[in-house]
Chains A and B, each alone.
Chain A
Amino acid sequence: MRNIWTIAKREFNQYFVSPAAYVVAFVFLLILGIIFYGQLGGTVVYGGSPQVVQWVFGPFVTLVLFLTPGVTMRLLAEEQRSGTMELLLTAPLREWELVIGKWLAAFAFMAVVIFLTSIYFLITNAFTTPGLDRGTILAAYVGFLFMCAAMLAIGVFTSSLFVNQIAAFFATMGVSLALWLVGFLFQQETGVVADIVNYIDLSGHFYNNFYTGVIDLSDIVYFVSITALFLFLTTRTIESRRWR
């Protein structure tokens, strides 16, 4: 566990010394801020209840599809490019500890970014009578954290496959988008194949329940499975460097 913690801490600190993280956070907060303010103003003018979960998490989900590849592309690709991967593999450190440490750092960074969005809910809640539906917001946050965990695991995996960070970025985005959109193929169909494909669909597990205020154990298990699966595959990929 100490190895995981050491790596996670080191990687987490790396995010805050890199200008890229600040640029990403700036763009992300600017876009969300503009959308939030526009929606808030529209609700004040035209009436209606403040759908702040939709205002924030609607665009946030789209942004995350670009944000997670940016957060994870460096993690293992950079180690391979600079040749430090060999050093890590000879260190008293298991592959899975390295992988989980890297993923944990990325997850902690994303959690910080996600935490920043709470300001939008606090502001809206202050001016809403009788206040926002906190249960729905909590469910949306829980779901979003699980979804980000899964997407970051995908990112860590693709980062282990490439030396080039740009390739890792686009590969992560491609896999995440494919899992995000796969449900569209069978959205009007039923049957075993459609059921399986729709179950694999990443977006469905977020939008169908968490987004509406429901926490379903099967959604949690799905996101945990995707996370575990891709972290396992990453471990196997790194391990394969020993015998390839």
Chain B
Amino acid sequence: MESSSLKRYAPYALAVGGAGLLVAAVVALLYRQFNTAVQVSLVVGLIGFVVAILFSPGSVSAWFGLRQARYGSNALVMTLAFFGIVILVNYLVTRNSVRWDLSEDQINTLAPETIAALQALPQPVKAVGFYSSNLFSQQQSTTELLRRYQVEADGKLTYEFFDPVGDPVTAREYNITRDGTLILEMGDQREEISFASETEITSALVRFASPSARSVYFLTGHGERDPQDTADSGLSVIADLLAKQNYEIKTLNLQVTDTVPADARAVVIVGPLQPLSQAEVDTLGRYLQQPNSALMALLDPPAQTQAPGETVADPLAEYLQTAWSITARNDVVVDFANSFPNQPLFPLNAGYESHPITDRLQNISTVFPVARSLEITTTNTSLTLTPLVKTAAGSWGETEIDSLNSDAGPVAGAGDPAGPLTLAVAAANSTTKARVVIFGDSDFAGNGAASQGANANLVVNALNWATLDETLISLVAKVPTERTLQLLDALTANTIFFVTVIAMPLAVVVLGGVVWFIRRRHV
């Protein structure tokens, strides 16, 4: 059937075939998907090859008749078979891999609580991370963490990442407002995680498995900040973040009821302008006798809420002092060095104390406009009290409130508590299983300041910790054993330098010279 006229076109058909495959490869690489253009190019390429063979079948059979072709095709088949075996083995092992964590602290191993949460998942979960190139190392650690989840999830967890800068459409679709956010999705449920950690991810998975709403009650009736309010003094920024983590935000007025609702995971008090009554505090006290109850209170200095010279009893402050050993001092924190420029009453934190609330804040600063200091007075054996945020050593708690408005300005006096001062405390009662987090300021959580540094995250993390499921309370970030390097003296350091930088490389050169010399003598 072969005709010389058709045979003449065979090289052209072959060229079309090659070009088609080339175009398909390039387009697939550019668009990163198997789209119509790739499919069409691929089909054109294959048709080109088939046509070339049909136009010149003699050339093909002649080639196959060659000795090289026979051996070559034999080698090709063997190679393909070997490739196939290798791919199959790798595929099977990857699906059923075994891991051994040899690190002493097992820092690469997920906690049993996490594995139980993964096994209890009713549906597949998808994790979607939004990390720009600026947060590459953070994305790497999140990827590594999610990979460990994936290994244990038995196909129930997948993950993908997007660059919120390069792909703003997807970021908008997920309502992403912060770089470095991780979204977890299961069916219709969605949780947003600001700082990916095992505790945060597992907590979200546990909530997916038992989707009861996390109701938190914001106290009202004393001029507290409003979670709905979008003004600078409002809390809508924090409320939005909490809503993304599936918190149901409700309000509670203890002047009209003497019980805290049974579904309350926490009561939140943000900047009351008037003190709570004794009856209200008693109600809170009864509530905090229940297991898994929680209180988060952001209390401004009395100087901010009371008239000058006025001294009003504060039953809540007294309760915190007697029941929780936390004293909210009647002062205003002043810091001329570690504060907003020319704003000595706007102190910044000087690092964070180690606690699940602060461990993931990665040293991002928080600022507390007009704050009071807190003091951990005594230690009760059933209480675990942890200061979270401290000011710098140069700060002090000004108790002469009038001096704040004087021309001379505040000066540290003998009766003023000296820095570093505590601005936030987390406390857990091992007997009642209740938790409280107290801040000496509420302005930092208001819309006007919530976006500053890690202010909003500090509040959200605090509420997450306070409402953490009791079964997950032991699931905290693993801290590797601290290993310290101590070189005794200069002689030791010099000896190490001599051995590693001079002696070892030189020994190799000398050895080489000796071998060369011996060989030369034998030649």
Task: Name A's B-contacting residues (CB within 8 A).
Answer: 16-17, 19, 21-23, 25-27, 29-30, 33-34, 36-37, 40-41, 43-44, 47, 49-50, 116, 119-120, 123-124, 127-136, 138-139, 186, 188-191, 193, 199, 208-209, 212-218, 221-222, 225, 228-229, 232-233, 236, 239-240, 243-244
Contacts and interface: CB of A to CB of B under 8 A. Distances in A.
B98 A26 contact: no
Interface in B488-521: 488, 492-493, 496-497, 499-502, 504-505, 508-509, 511-512, 515-516, 519
Contacts of A218: 90, 93-94, 97
Nearest to A32: B500
B68 A33 contact: no
9 contacts: A37-B497, A44-B486, A50-B483, A127-B486, A133-B103, A134-B104, A189-B161, A217-B98, A240-B71
Contacts, number: 171
Contact of A229 (B82, B93, B496): B82
Given A186-B32, A189-B161, 12 more contacts: A30-B501, A40-B496, A127-B488, A133-B103, A133-B104, A139-B102, A213-B103, A214-B99, A217-B97, A217-B98, A218-B94, A243-B72
B83 A229 contact: yes
B147 interface: yes
A225 B481 contact: no
B147 A208 contact: yes
A189 B32 contact: yes
Contact of A190 (B83, B159, B512): B159
Nearest to B151: A216
A132 B482 CA distance: 10
**Closest 8 A-B residue pairs measured CB to CB?**
A22-B512, A135-B102, A213-B103, A190-B160, A243-B71, A218-B97, A33-B500, A33-B501
Interface residues of B, number: 62
Given A16-B515, A133-B103, A188-B162, A229 B86 contact: yes
B522 to A, nearest CB: 11
B71 A127 contact: no
A213 B102 contact: yes
Contacts of A33: 500-502, 504-505
A217 to B, nearest CB: 5
B251 interface: no
B508 A217 contact: no
A101 B488 CA distance: 48
B107 interface: yes
B3 interface: no
Nearest to A228: B86
B79 interface: yes
B501 A225 contact: no
Contacts of A17: 515, 519
B481 A215 contact: no
B90 A190 contact: no
A154 to B, nearest CB: 14
B393 interface: no
Given A133-B103, A190-B161, A213-B103, A19 B512 contact: yes
Nearest to A43: B485
A212 B100 CA distance: 11
Interface string B129-168: 0000000000100001001000000000011111100000
A215 B78 contact: no
Given A221-B90, A229-B83, A214 B102 contact: yes
A156 B339 CA distance: 63
Nearest to B95: A218
Contacts of B163: 188
Given A26-B505, A127-B487, A236 B103 contact: no
Nearest to B518: A17
A240 B75 CA distance: 8
Contacts of B172: none
A122 to B, nearest CB: 10
Contacts of A16: 515
Contacts of B28: 193
A143 to B, nearest CB: 11
B101 interface: yes
B32 A193 contact: yes
Contacts of B516: 19
A209 B501 contact: no
B99 A37 contact: no
Contact of B483 (A128, A214, A217): A128
A29 B504 contact: yes
Contact of A44 (B104, B139, B487, B500): B487
A16 B519 CA distance: 11
B483 A130 contact: yes
B451 interface: no
B447 to A, nearest CB: 33
B396 to A, nearest CB: 29
